[in-house]
């Protein structure tokens, strides 16, 4: 069956959903040391809501991610990335995404990192829907330099490939 059609026919019921932060993940991968070494890590979702409407294009979502939750398992690197050199989590504790367009295969919106807003499109890979709950998997690529995160050019990867798995619970 056509994936786009499957997503439409398997839509969650209308209404407001809360993102279940404990059962949702934002994972990323990048490269460092002049592109030679892979880096993988996660961010934690702080909160979020999804409003499912009819038509689907009238739906919306808002997600807040804790900048200080950046985690790769390397304490020194994680501290550097949280510092003013990169994410400046003390001054900019939240990374936010607010949708501007919702379609079956993509959600487009504004990503705010370090106070800088840029448009980003998330490609929807899969949605699992059951009564009162749905989980969506999505991907995107972010260029950190577009958000003013420019420290360690060459050493730290320019792009982050993000994979999200977000579980939403009907209120």
- Structure confidence at residue 158 (pLDDT): 87
| Domain range for 22 | 3-169
Preceding amide of 55 cis, omega within 30: yes
- pLDDT at residue 34 is higher than 70: no
pTM of the model: 0.89
- Structure confidence at residue 121 (pLDDT): 98
Count of domains observed in the chain:
1
């Amino acid at each position: 069956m056509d994936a786009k059609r499957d997503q439409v026919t398997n839509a969650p019921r209308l209404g407001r959903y809360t993102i279940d932060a404990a059962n949702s993940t934002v994972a990323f991968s990048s490269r460092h040391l002049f592109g030679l070494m892979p880096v993988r890590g996660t961010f934690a979702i702080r909160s979020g809501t999804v409003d499912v409407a009819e038509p689907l294009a009238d739906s919306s979502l808002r997600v807040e991610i804790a900048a200080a939750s950046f985690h790769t398992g390397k304490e020194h690197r994680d501290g550097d990335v949280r510092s003013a050199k990169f994410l400046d989590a003390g001054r900019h504790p939240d990374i936010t995404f607010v949708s501007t367009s919702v379609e079956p295969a993509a959600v487009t919106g504004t990503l705010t990192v370090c106070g800088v807003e840029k448009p980003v499109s998330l490609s929807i890979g899969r949605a699992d829907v059951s009564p009162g709950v749905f989980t969506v998997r999505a991907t995107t690529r972010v260029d950190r330099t577009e958000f003013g995160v420019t420290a360690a050019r060459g050493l730290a990867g320019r792009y982050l490939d993000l994979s999200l798995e977000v579980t939403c619970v009907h209120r």
